[in-house]
Amino acid sequence: MKEFLDLLRNDHHQFDQGKLEDYFGSEPFALVAKWLREAIERGVSEPNAMSISTIGLDGFPHSRIVYLKELLEEGPIFYTNYNSAKGKALEANPKVHALIFWPGMERQISITGTVEKVPEEMSDEYFQSRPWGSKIGAWASQQSEELASRDELENRVKELAELFPVEVPRPPHWGGYVIKPVQIEFWQGRASRLHDRIVFELNDGNWRVFRKNP
């Protein structure tokens, strides 16, 4: 334990991967797309990983990692089981916080907003592009519900594999959400921990842009 605590105390990260200049455009999505493209081009691990935080039905905040599947002009899109814990939380309270973190690039994007379900046609199209096994899994998993054993899950998979040997329709409880932001913050690590923090805040349909202290 002492050695571990010493490692924590001896963190001298330099933060020298870049900076944010003073012009950021009139809306945030171009910069989100630029950073995501650069993360992919640099080969960072899991560039599409995005943490989603909701207020659960128990009143506590809950976070989990999802896959940022697409970025539209309205905002980022992710897919999930609507009957899952996150789906039930979003049904009760559509307010959400998302965080994308690329430690190797010393960057993160913090998104605050509300979610809406994407059109069914969009969910259908993405679902049909997924591998057969993932489609079966979407039917088999009663996501977030208590599971008696692994065998119970695998038996459901076998039954569904027989039911849908080739074509697998999209489950009605599975689909996408679009996050419609009211605030997006871009964080770029800087030397001496004097980080750049640029915020886009939506006011009456227009984006206000300002810096925050690190």
Instruction: Write down the mean pLDDT value for the chain.
Output: 92
In this prediction, residue 5 has a pLDDT band, given cuts at 50, 70 and 90, of: very low
Helix (H) / strand (E) element for 128: namely helix 120-129
pTM > 0.75: yes or no = yes
C-alpha to C-alpha distance for 71 and 109, rounded to whole angstroms = 13
Q: What is the pLDDT of residues 156-204, one digit of tens each?
A: 999 999 999 999 999 999 999 999 999 999 999 998 889 999 999 999 9
Over pLDDT 90: what percentage of the chain? 84
pLDDT tens track for 124-167: 999 999 999 999 999 999 998 999 999 999 999 999 999 999 99
Tell me the mean pLDDT in the region 3-19.
60
CATH says 22-130+172-211 is which class? mainly beta
Per-residue model confidence (pLDDT) at position 191: 86
9 is catalytic: no
- With the C-alpha atoms ordered 6, 197, 202, 180, is the resulting torsion angle positive or negative? negative
Domain boundaries, the chain: 22-130+172-211
6, 134, 212 from 183: Cα distances, Å = 37, 33, 13
Which member of 42, 193, 208, 211 is catalytic?
Answer: 193
